[in-house]
Amino acid sequence: MPELPEVESIRLQLEKYLVDHVIKDVEIRYHKCFQGSKKDLIGGKVKQVRRFGKVLVIDLDNRYSMLIHVRMTGQLIYKGPNLKKVQKLSEKVKGGLGGKHTHVIFHLDYGGKLYYNDVRKFGWIKVAVSSKLKAESKFLKKLGPEPVIDKDNPPENPLTLEKFATVVQASGTSIKSLLMDQKKIAGVGNIYANDALWLVKINPTKVSKKLGTEEIKKLFKALEKVLKEGIKRGGASEIAFITPDGTEGNYQDFTLVYGKERELCLNNCGGKIKKIKISGRGTYYCPNCQKL
DNA sequence: CACTTGACCTGTCCGC
DNA sequence: TGCGGACAGGTCAAGT
């Protein structure tokens, strides 16, 4: 679930709670999700929290950084002195904080703690040298340009209309698969890919390179629009997504087609949303509006 | 090389 | 009620 808007929501809070705090210890319970040495993190003070597509990068002042990818069910939950609002623990934290799905606990100064929970154990944490992030992370190295959702704070490798047109016109796969291919475009996952395509009435199975110039332009704008809407809503929390202070987003209640199988199309076209599979992924679209 | 499929995981939901 | 099986989705390795 966590796509660009969800990971950005996590980043904003991590920035708020972690910057200028020191990692005192790292408790690793499930070693498979942790690559590198925890010794490189201990004693480091958090300088900044960045995001590249769906990956979080926590930069420390000791020349090391920590890369975190929460994949689908990973959660980062903060408990500590500067958390003003004490929230009741979300039922989305399966097994409870520190329970069977807590795989790593970062012990911070002043008694703060950052918990990494992940029911399905797909997510990962990796320690890397800050100046060699791309060399040490295959994922970052291959990551494509990323849609701009905040003009005042653009990503390092922004997706421009020109770049978008180039990748779309070069690919023979379905446009939906292309949108979700992190090497081509960073940050877009299933929910926002479905919604963006519905918004511009393009059939998700349409071969990417068959899109016309106008369609490409409209889709580019729609992508930015749905991602911004996702951030505005604090992300989509349907399955496991919550932010470090325990807040849930509500984009799941405002999706355009995603998860709406058999429901009436929001365009009032009379069509009913159909669910198909594209590259093994659930895909929702309106057969009436989004004709091939 | 370009693209698709299966594996990784576990909880949840559906049908019998 | 219990049980098997399909499904959820992000990424990578393996397969076509």
* A142 CB less than 7 Å from any atom of strand B: no
Please give the average per-residue pLDDT across A91-115, as a whole number: 90
A153 assigned to some structural domain? no
* Domain end marker among A114, A142, A170: A142
Nucleotides on strand C lying under 7 Å from protein C-beta: 7-13
What's the pLDDT score for residue A237?
A: 80
Average pLDDT along chain A: 91
- Which pLDDT tens digit goes with each residue over A198-217? 999 999 999 999 999 999 99
Question: Which residues get their CB within 7 angstroms of nucleic chain C?
Answer: A 1-3, 53-55, 69, 71-73, 120, 122, 138-139, 142, 180, 182, 189-191, 258-259, 275, 277, 280-282
Up-side HSE of residue A146: CA atoms within 13 Å toward CB? 25
A133 assigned to some structural domain? yes
- Which pLDDT tens digit goes with each residue over A222-254? 999 999 999 999 888 877 788 899 888 889 889
A250 assigned to some structural domain? yes
Residue A11 predicted with pLDDT over 80 = yes
Residues A239 and A122 in one domain: no
Residues A115 and A217 in one domain: no
Share above pLDDT 70 across residues of chain A, in percent, rounded to a whole number: 98
A151 assigned to some structural domain? no
Amino acid residing at A194: N
What's the pLDDT score for residue A228?
A: 94
Residue A86 predicted with pLDDT over 60 = no
Residue A195 predicted with pLDDT over 90 = yes
Strand partners, A124: A69
* A110 CB less than 7 Å from any atom of strand B: no
- Which pLDDT tens digit goes with each residue over A277-289? 898 888 999 999 9
| CATH number of the domain bearing residue A20 | 3.20.190.10
Measure A282 CA to C1 C1' (Å). Answer: 31
A292 assigned to some structural domain? no
Residue A85 predicted with pLDDT over 90 = no
Residue A1 predicted with pLDDT over 70 = no
Pairing of the two strands A34-35 and A124-129: parallel
Other CB atoms within 10 Å distance of the CB of residue A228: 15
For chain A, the domain total comes to 2
What's the pLDDT score for residue A268?
A: 92
Residues A116 and A169 in one domain: no
| CATH number of the domain bearing residue A195 | 1.10.8.50
What's the pLDDT score for residue A235?
A: 86
Global pTM value: 0.94
Residues A113 and A86 in one domain: yes
Tokens 């989305």, located at residue: A92
- CA–CA dist A2, A190 (Å, integer): 10
Residue A65 structural domain: 4-142
Residues A168 and A229 in one domain: yes
Residues A12 and A134 in one domain: yes
- Which pLDDT tens digit goes with each residue over A38-55? 999 999 999 999 999 999
Tokens 């300088």, located at residue: A47
A72 assigned to some structural domain? yes
* Domain end marker among A142, A172, A201: A142
